[in-house]
Amino acid sequence: MNIDPRWAWAAYAPSAAAPWNLQRVGHLYRRAAFGANWAELQAGLSSGPEKTVDALLAGGPDAEPFPPAITKANNGFQLSSWWLKRLLESKHPLREKLTLFWHNHFATSNAKVNNTGAMIGMYDLLYRQSLGNFGDMAQEITLDPAMLVWLDTVTSTRGQPNENYARELMELFTLGIGHYTEADIREAARAFTGYEIKDGRGRLNPAKHDATPKTVFGQSGNWSADDIVKACLKQPACPYFIVGKLYRYLVSEADTPSRELLAPLAEAFAGDFDIGKLVARILRSNLFFSDTVYRARVKSPVEFAVGIVHALEGRVPASALALALESLGQRLGYPPNVKGWDGGQVWLNAQTLLYRQNLALALTSTDDDRFKSRTDPAQLARSLGKVEGDQPVELFVDLFLQGDLRTGTKSQLIQFLQEARRQKRPAFWSDERVEAQPLRGLCHLVLAQPEFQLA
Partner 1 sequence: MRWLPAILVGLGLVGPGRAGEPATLLQLLPKQADAALVVDRPRLLVESVAGYPVLQELTAFEAVREQLASTSSRQLRDLVRHFEKELGKPWPDLLDALAGKGACLGIRFAGDSSGVMLIVHATDEPLLKKALAVALDVIKSAPRADDAKIASAEYRGVTGYQVGPNAFVALSGPVMFLSNKREAIRAGIDLHLDGPAQSFESAGRAKAARDLLPRDPLAWFVASTERLHEQPEAKQAYEYPKGDLIQLILFQGIIDTLGKAPGVAGALTRSADGMTGTIRMPAGRQATPSGLALHYPADKSPGSLPLLEPKDVLLSTSFYLDLSRLWNDREKLLTEKTRQDLEKAEKDLGRFLGGRRLSEILAGMGTHHRVVVTHQSKPGYAKRPDQPIPAFAFVSDIRDPAYPNAMNAILRLAAFIGGAGAQFKYAEETIGEAKLITYRFPESKTVEGDGAGFRFNFSPCFGRVGDQYVVSSTVELARELIPLLNAKPGVGEAATSRLRVYGAGGATVLKAVEDQLLTQTILDRAVSADDARKEAARFIDWVRTLGSVGIEVNYSADDMRLDFHHRPARTGGGS
- Name the site residues for partner 1 (rule: CB under 8 A): 64, 67-74, 78, 81-82, 85, 315-320, 365-367, 369, 372-374, 423-430, 433
Q: 201: part of which helix (H) or strand (E)? A: strand 201-204
Nearer to partner 1, 148 or 238 (CB): 148
Identify which of 358, 455, 324, 451 has the alpha carbon closest to the alpha carbon of residue 396. 451
Nearer to partner 1, 133 or 327 (CB): 327
To partner 1, the closest distance from the beta carbon of 436 in angstroms equals 10
Sign of CA dihedral 170, 171, 177, 182: positive
To partner 1, the closest distance from the beta carbon of 72 in angstroms equals 4
Which residue intervals of 59-115 are DSSP H helices? Answer: 68-73, 76-89, 93-105, 110-113
Nearer to partner 1, 53 or 363 (CB): 363
Nearer to partner 1, 72 or 201 (CB): 72
CA distance 327 to 452: 19
Nearer to partner 1, 131 or 318 (CB): 318
Nearer to partner 1, 388 or 431 (CB): 431
Nearer to partner 1, 189 or 318 (CB): 318
To partner 1, the closest distance from the beta carbon of 145 in angstroms equals 11
To partner 1, the closest distance from the beta carbon of 81 in angstroms equals 5
Sign of CA dihedral 233, 235, 236, 237: negative
To partner 1, the closest distance from the beta carbon of 427 in angstroms equals 4
To partner 1, the closest distance from the beta carbon of 64 in angstroms equals 7
Nearer to partner 1, 33 or 436 (CB): 436
Quote the DSSP letter at residue 115. -
Sheet strands (E) in 298-369: none
CA distance 442 to 377: 9
Identify which of 4, 34, 38, 6 has the alpha carbon closest to the alpha carbon of residue 22. 38
To partner 1, the closest distance from the beta carbon of 144 in angstroms equals 17
To partner 1, the closest distance from the beta carbon of 71 in angstroms equals 8
Nearer to partner 1, 208 or 433 (CB): 433
Helix 76-89 vs helix 301-311: crossing angle, to nearest 10: 50
To partner 1, the closest distance from the beta carbon of 96 in angstroms equals 17
State the number of CA atoms in the 13 A half-sphere of 402 facing the CB: 23
CA distance 296 to 39: 25
CA distance 402 to 394: 9
Query: Could you tell me the maximum CA-CA distance found in the chain, to the nearest angstrom?
Result: 85
Quote the DSSP letter at residue 210. -
Identify which of 174, 187, 423, 452 has the alpha carbon closest to the alpha carbon of residue 303. 452
Q: 25: part of which helix (H) or strand (E)? A: helix 22-32
